[in-house]
Chains A and B, each alone.
Chain A
Amino acid sequence: MSGHVVTIDRIKCDGFGTCAQLLPERITLDEWGYPIIDAAPVTGSELSHAKRAVNACPRLALGLAKAAHPAPAGR
């Protein structure tokens, strides 16, 4: 499996920052509190943390997409 990429709906995102706490390996926050997402595929043990971050997003802005999908990651 080639893994998944973390996606984000920038319009839905309100900068709660939960994702950066649950997936700090891939997500940091900018100075205004909005996520900066590593575009590299999430694999192995990180995937369960990524899923937890997606489920915890209070705005349902975070998502996971198959890495092969042409959806640009981090946007």
Chain B
Amino acid sequence: MTPTSTPQRASAPATGASRLLGPAAGTDVAAHAAAFGALPALARTKRGHAGPLVAEIERSGLAGRGGGWFPTGRKMSAVVASSRQARKDPAVVVNAMEGEPAASKDAVLVHRNPHLVIDGAVLAAQSIGATTVHLAAHRGSRALHDLQKAVAARGGSDPVELVVVDGPDRYVASEESALAHLVGEGIALPVTVPPRVFESGVRRRPTLLSNAETYAHIALVARHGAEWFRSVGDPAVPGTTLISVGGAVGQPGVLEVPTGTTVRQILGLAGGTTGSVSAVVTGGYGGAWASAGALVDLPWTPEGLKPAGAVPGAGVLVVLPDDACGLVETARVVRWMAGQSAGQCGPCRFGLAAVSSDFDLLASGRMKGAELRLLQGRLGVIPGRGACRHPDGAVRFAATALEVFADEAHRHLSGRCSAGRRTAILPVPSTSTPLPVSRPGEEWR
């Protein structure tokens, strides 16, 4: 149950935690087949019909690992139904963009076992009647290189076409409608929903768009069945899951654990915490802060983390040491998240900028009590008012910071900060590519 455990043979599938990361076959096709077994042969279903794997995925209880934790089998069925109604061939998109700066699980998975991800996408495509699989990763990333190399190594032997797509290094580029927009039209910006991507995604085709890890699980369900998949993890969201653990732990990195593993166990597997801990980021920067005390004995599932206001999201867990200031950390992250807004929707573009300015004031001890109440009001009106969920996630991150660090916020209002350190804990990318749109009416600037 460590990030680098010994390989298991395909004939004896692991019932423990090392399903996806146990072996490390890399881009070599033969090594992959030796580690996991050959790609199961499936016939491609006709348009509007679901192959038997769809029902098997539904029985497995697999839930999407990109952050939504939506049942993957139901999503596949919805794409098939939309495909039948619209009389359009569906598309398949693999999201390996990994927009969350604190996450690295998809990069690690795609590096260790890229063919597992591709197998899952090929099998999913055959099962919903799609002819093309689009694999998306950030421009210049190692994941993109790994996917390109793995696709080349397969040598066109797959029953469907594989296309690797590179996307700009922007947070919202990995939002599902933005990614479908990128794959179809080359524009990585969110679009207004509905229609949702499963109804009308890549070039208006019904589109199965899921996280890279989700497809890797599909590849294993196709090989070993739903019962095997359900044999570990929490019955509500079974299987194993990848978690990027960072911050004040002994061994930061990516872990694979059964769902339902407690946060205490996860931190133990990551080498334990280094020193005393005040709070934890869960899910990512579109996720939530939680106090360490409330969180530590809760199971890692969407329902299980709720009592602490935490979310598993895209599998991010960052530990804040108690000599760091959570408000300073939050201010830096919120400023970055505001800058990552596509700028298409007013409440997100102006709202996140205002929240970011407020947090800068609060973090630097220059905020007044009335301004804090104004900030809380702003956090209340922004969610649900963007085309995508970017503002909702950024606001949740900011709002949970005000709850978890309420005492510290009061100290900051009187110009004091109890933190002893000034080094940043939460990683924030320093640069980012400019917006791909010119804003109407602002050509004069």
Contacts and interface: CB of A to CB of B under 8 A. Distances in A.
Nearest to B189: A11
- Listed residue (A12, A13, A30) with the most chain B CB atoms within 10 angstroms of its CB: A30
Interface string A1-43: 0000000011111110000000000000011111010000000
B345 A13 contact: yes
A58 interface: no
Contacts of A10: 192, 344-347, 385-387
B385 A75 contact: yes
Interface residues on A, range: 10 to 19
A11 B190 CA distance: 9
A32 B350 contact: yes
Contacts of B191: 11
User: Chain B binding site: helix, strand, loop or mixed by DSSP?
Assistant: loop
A30 B381 contact: yes
B346 A14 contact: yes
B275 interface: no
B61 interface: no
A33 B192 CA distance: 20
Which 8 pairs, one residue from A and one from B, show the smallest C-beta to C-beta distance?
A: A34-B346, A32-B350, A10-B345, A11-B344, A10-B387, A9-B192, A11-B387, A15-B346
Which residue, of A10, A11, A34, has the highest number of chain B Cβ atoms within 10 A? A10
B52 interface: no
Interface string A64-75: 000000010011
Nearest to B349: A32
A34 B385 contact: yes
Instruction: Decide if the interface of chain A is mainly helix, strand, loop or mixed.
Output: loop
B346 A71 contact: no
Contacts of A9: 192, 387
Contact of A11 (B345, B354, B441): B345
A15 B190 CA distance: 19
Contacts of B40: none
Interface of A: 9-15, 30-34, 36, 71, 74-75
B351 interface: yes
A61 to B, nearest CB: 9
Interface in B354-404: 354, 378, 381, 384-387
Contacts of B381: 30, 36
Interface residues of B, number: 18
A12 B192 contact: yes
Given A10-B386, A34-B346, 16 more contacts: A9-B192, A10-B344, A11-B190, A11-B344, A13-B345, A13-B346, A14-B346, A30-B347, A30-B351, A32-B351, A34-B345, A34-B347, A36-B381, A36-B385, A75-B384, A75-B385
19 contacts: A10-B346, A10-B347, A10-B385, A10-B386, A10-B387, A11-B191, A13-B345, A13-B346, A14-B441, A15-B346, A31-B354, A31-B378, A32-B354, A33-B346, A34-B346, A34-B350, A71-B194, A74-B384, A75-B387
B216 to A, nearest CB: 32
A74 B385 contact: yes
Interface string B192-221: 101000000000000000000000000000
A30 B192 CA distance: 20
B198 to A, nearest CB: 13
A4 to B, nearest CB: 16
A31 B191 CA distance: 24
A74 B386 CA distance: 10
Contacts of B344: 10-11
A11 B439 CA distance: 12
Nearest to B391: A10
B382 to A, nearest CB: 8
B199 to A, nearest CB: 11
Nearest to A71: B194
A15 B384 CA distance: 16
B427 to A, nearest CB: 30
Nearest to A69: B194
B181 to A, nearest CB: 11
A74 to B, nearest CB: 7
Contacts of A34: 345-347, 350, 385
Nearest to A65: B194
